[in-house]
Amino acid sequence: MNIEVIRQILETTVPFIHRSGLKVLDVGRGHVKLRMPFEGNGNHIGTMYAGALFTLAEVPGGGVFVTGFDVGKFYPVLKDQYIRYRRPARTDVTVEVTLSEEEIARITAEAEEAGKSEFVLEAELIDATGEVVAESRQTLQIRKHGM
């Protein structure tokens, strides 16, 4: 896996994400750790804007896809996403998501067989003091090209 290529894909391919300044801190098979900078993403009351936190929680779906699945054979679809805001964020915020080898194998097998497979990713968004500022849950689908 070329980590530099994956970093560039996640940080720069979508202009909306690129403008937020989101950074890839770590990446591996089925795994990403990302940071949303506070700088440029605050609101009028000095906390991180809700949409910036949502975007930080959204990108792991793409990160897990490009690191865990055959991008030549499958493509990802975001079906829905829920985010619960627990407390205001006043620092950079990070998120770390891992899809296990067992889950990758199960989803790949189902998508090979049925043409698609759905799974849920849950995440906690954590500020610089270690507090959980938000929790998210996204439903993703992996689909086979040409189906």
Question: Which residues in this chain contact a second copy in the complex, by CB under 8 A?
Answer: 13-17, 19-20, 40-45, 49-52, 54-55, 58, 75, 77-85
Closer to a second copy at the Cβ: 72 or 102? 72
- Of 59 and 104, nearer to a second copy (C-beta) is 59
| CB-count exposure of residue 120 (10 Å: 0-12, 13-18, 19+) | exposed
Compare residues 9 and 108 and give the one whose CB is closer to a second copy.
Answer: 9
Least distance (Å) from a second copy to the CB of residue 58? 5
Q: Are 134 and 83 in contact (CB under 8 A)?
A: yes
Contact 27, 63 (CB under 8 A): yes
Q: What number of other Cβ atoms are within 10 A of residue 92's Cβ? A: 18
- C-alpha–C-alpha distance, residues 75 and 146, integer Å: 10
As measured in angstroms, the least distance from the Cβ of 102 to a second copy is 27
Q: Closer to a second copy at the Cβ: 29 or 84?
A: 84
Q: How many CB atoms lie within 10 A of CB 146?
A: 6
What minimum distance in Å lies between the beta carbon of 42 and a second copy?
7
Alpha-carbon gap, residue 85 to 89, rounded angstroms: 9
Min CB(70)–a second copy separation in Å: 17
